[in-house]
Amino acid sequence: MSQVAAASIPLDNNHPAERLRRIAAAVRVHFTWWGVRRALTAQQKEEIGVACAADSRLLTAGKKLVDVRHEAFRRLTSLRTRIGQFWRSVTLPYVEPGIRLIKQSGIDAFVHQMEGFREELTEAEGDLNAVYDQVKADARNRLGRLYDAADYPPEIRGLFAVDFDFPSVEPPNYLLQLNPEIYAEEQARVARRFEEAVQLAEQAFIGELARLVSHLTERLTAGPDEKKVFRDSAIANLTEYFARFRDLNVRSNAQLDQLVEQAQQIVRGVAPQELRDNAGLRQHVATQLAAVQATLDGMLVDQPRRRIIRSRPVANGDSHANGD
């Protein structure tokens, strides 16, 4: 699809895949992360085998270099989780592993937030380095004879990082000049991928809404001798979903659009405390949400089986945030 042709695509519901292709960009997030697991040496496995009266050739054993529950390390892993969650929250799935689709209009905000995360990660890495001697001393005590000073870098610097880029998923323009026929084939292949991306987006939205509605309905429905804990987040998570759906929806499924609007109307203006205090309101909301849930369950059953995408192996300690 040439840039001129792409610009002529009407922004209506008749071409959701083409519209998505026009307004979205591919984005990839990847981490550099210190791998703290090591396999035991053959001699160490032999010693364990002797102690357990087992054949060391049949043993698989490893060790952790540090206690990952240490507060400084947990801050790093928490940041990694937050970054991955943020990336997924502002993007849609794509067919290539490690790549998701972001609205072009949202790129500036995405970059700003990721740069903030990068600064936080650098700071957290510095905090771990500040207590590195303490962490190694703890590991020496815990690992005993399995401790090996050669496993540890001299300092914690440059071992934790996050990067992102915007890879092109379109066929290169020079291919049009070199071989128009191959270029046309590549255009058709990309078009098919965006058709599948639309299906993946639908499945993701349907699955998430089904999970949120099911959870809220279950929390609101209690037996005669049962009192369930109802947290504010059950409503807040739905509200966040509605906002994200409005922002990222590719308008490809009218039934899904109607269900989202229906669910939004059911909980609109309903405060969590009202649901705790008013049994009648609680039952009313639960009954209406159950009807939405039944329709969502049918849509999940009717979805085509998703093509299995196998992730590429990652080398040199780098790891890609999961895009599925």
Can you tell me the distance from the alpha carbon of 205 to that of 248, in angstroms, rounded to the nearest whole number? 10
**Tens of pLDDT along 77-129?**
999 999 999 999 999 999 999 999 999 999 999 999 999 999 999 999 999 99
Same domain, 148 and 95: yes
Query: How many domains is the chain built from?
Result: 2
Q: Count CB-CB contacts under 10 A for residue 7.
A: 9
* Mean of per-residue pLDDT scores for the chain: 88
Residue 298 lies in a domain: yes
- How far apart are the C-alpha atoms of 324 and 311, rounded to whole Å? 10
pLDDT at 222 over 90: no
pLDDT of 236 > 50? The answer is yes
Q: Taking residues 43-69, what's their average pLDDT? A: 89
Residue 320 belongs to what H/E stretch?
A: strand 318-320
Tokens 């929806």 sit at which residue? 249
Q: Which domain holds residue 224?
A: 199-302
User: What is the percentage of the chain residues whose pLDDT exceeds 70?
Assistant: 87
Tokens 């405060």 map to which residue? 271
Higher pLDDT: 39 or 3? It is 39
Asked if residue 134 and residue 224 are part of one domain, the reply reads: no
**Are 151 and 65 within 8 A, CB to CB?**
yes
- pLDDT of 212 reads 96
142, 120: one domain: yes
Q: How many helices (H) and strands (E) does the chain have?
A: 12, 7
Q: Which long-range contacts (CB under 8 A, 24 or more apart) does 272-276 make?
A: 272/230, 272/231, 272/232, 272/234, 272/235, 275/220, 275/230, 275/235, 276/230
Of all residues in the chain, what percent carry a pLDDT higher than 90? 73
- Return the pLDDT at 316: 42
Clarify whether residues 141 and 159 are in a common domain. Answer: yes
Tell me what pLDDT residue 303 has: 52
Tell me if 183 is assigned to some domain. Answer: no
Residue 179 within a domain: no
Same domain as 160, residue 217: no
281 shares its domain with 316? no
Considering the entire predicted model, what is its pTM? 0.83
pLDDT band at 309 (very low <50, low <70, confident <90, very high): very low
Cα–Cα dist 289/85, whole Å: 26
Q: Higher model confidence: residue 11 or residue 125?
A: 125
Q: Which of 182-186, 201-205, 212-216, 308-312 has the lowest mean pLDDT?
A: 308-312
Asked if 258 and 231 sit in the same domain, the reply is yes
Query: Does 151 map to a domain?
Result: yes
Note whether 295 and 316 are same-domain residues: no
How far apart are the C-alpha atoms of 19 and 144, rounded to whole Å?
60
Residues 154 and 227 in one domain: no
Report CA 306 to chain centroid distance, whole Å: 17
Q: Report CA torsion sign: 207, 208, 211, 214.
A: negative
Answer whether residue 230 is part of any domain.
yes
- The tens digit of pLDDT for each residue in 16-34 reads 999 999 999 999 999 999 9
Region of 269 on the Ramachandran plot (φ > 0 left; ψ -120 to 50 alpha; else beta): left
Same structural domain, 284 and 262: yes
| Residue 322: pLDDT band with limits 50, 70, 90 | very low
Whether 152 maps to a domain, the answer reads yes
> How far apart (Å, rounded) are the C-alpha atoms in residues 196 and 190?
10
Whether residue 178 is predicted with pLDDT greater than 60 in this model: the reply is yes
Same domain, 93 and 217: no
> Residue 195 has which token pair?
């058709």
Lowest mean pLDDT among 6-20, 41-55, 161-175, 230-244: 6-20
Q: Is 162 helix (H, G, I), strand (E, B) or coil?
A: strand
Same domain, 38 and 158: yes
- 169: Cβ contacts below 8 Å, ≥ 6 apart: 26, 94, 96, 99, 190, 193
- Whether residue 132 lies inside any domain: the answer is yes
For residue 221, what pLDDT band results from cuts at 50, 70 and 90? confident
Q: In the 3-class helix/strand/coil scheme, how is 206-259 assigned residue by residue?
A: HHHHHHHHHHHHHHHCCCCCCCCCCCCHHHHHHHHHHHHHHHHCCCCCHHHHHH
- Model confidence at 14, pLDDT cuts 50, 70, 90, reads low
For the residues 237-252, what does the mean pLDDT come to?
Answer: 94
Taking each helix axis as running N to C, give the angle between helix 180-220 and helix 254-267, from 0 to 180 degrees, rounded to the nearest 10. 30
| pLDDT greater at residue 225 or residue 85 | 85
Is the residue at 181 inside a domain? no
**Per-residue pLDDT averaged across 248-256, rounded?**
92
